[in-house]
Amino acid sequence: MALERRLYTAEATVTGGREQGHGRTTDGRLDVQLRPPTELGGDGQGTNPEQLFAVGFAACFEGALAAVARRERRELGEVSVDSRISLIPTPERGFHLGAALEVSLPAIEDPEEAKRIVAAAHEVCPYSNATRGNMEVKLTANGQPVSHS
């Protein structure tokens, strides 16, 4: 991969990990206390890496939808992406992630067209490209399952 053509690089520092950590971007715009969710024995008084990933993936995917719409000169309306990131234990006592993105395209009434646009965005989105082959990603478009690679 040619890193010479970087368009942008985000920088952050985390100390204390996910249990009692603190994360901050170098520009100070994101500054979070890291804590496990209550489902994992935490007090729920902070955020966790899965929540951050869910927000990042959804935002990135919405940007990919906008890119596809611009290329096709389409109006998608008020797009919404609901994301779920699941932390899943492995038999080897490790963990992996799973993702589900539910995409709402209110201006696209044809279910097949909505699914095609979401599948095209999945090919464009940097998060999709980073996770492809590494984790299961389930997609829906206007409530319909989307098949993808």
pLDDT, one tens digit for every residue, the chain (149 residues): 556 788 899 999 999 998 999 999 999 999 999 999 999 999 989 999 999 999 999 999 999 999 999 999 999 999 999 999 999 999 999 999 999 999 999 999 999 999 999 999 999 999 999 999 999 999 999 999 999 86
97 and 59, same structural domain? yes
CATH at residue 25: 2.20.25.10
- Token digits of residue 43: 């007090």
Domain extent, residue 23, equals 11-47
The pLDDT, as a whole number, for residue 84 is: 98
Q: Is the C-alpha dihedral spanning 71, 73, 76, 79 positive or negative?
A: positive
Do the Cβ atoms of 33 and 46 come closer than 8 Å? yes
The angle subtended at Cα 47 by Cα 42 and Cα 51, nearest 5°, is 110
CA distances 63 to 2, 34, 43, 69, 106, Å, are: 22, 26, 33, 10, 16
Other beta carbons within 10 Å of 76:
20
CATH number at residue 123: 3.30.300.20
Residues 56 and 124 reside in one and the same domain: yes
Same structural domain, 131 and 78: yes
- Say yes or no: 23 and 41 in one domain: yes
Against a cut of 0.75, is the pTM above it? yes
Q: Is residue 4 part of a domain?
A: no
